[in-house]
Structure 1
């Protein structure tokens, strides 16, 4: 991971899409967001989602089922 402009941990998924782990109002959040180049600096765009730790845990617990659904449709 790398550190983002706001101190968040950033994990690159594609050219301008990142998974992030950050803190917002005292809560840890996991996000997936598109970023844009603002004069050489990465800035978060409007397209994305932020999950609470509870939502992130729920998503991880369902990952095997999600993978199976993806395989069915691929």
Structure 2
């Protein structure tokens, strides 16, 4: 099950579980659309994988399967 991480690893902007602006790689590294498009050019800086839109978990399922609250941030931000 996806963790639905709460923030962008580059800029630390919030990405709530229902955000259409959250993108992930196959390892669930999570980025906002702005960083993914402008800084990372659609590639994960950690694994090199493709960044795709993160699915939205239905609100009624969040009660029994909540999103992660653990924030992951790259201390130096994300490089090209």
Provide the TM-score with structure 2 as the length reference.
Answer: 0.28
* Greater helix proportion: 1
Provide the TM-score with structure 1 as the length reference.
Answer: 0.29
Structure with higher Rg: it is 1
* Greater strand proportion: 1
Higher RCO, Cα 8 Å, sep 6+: 2
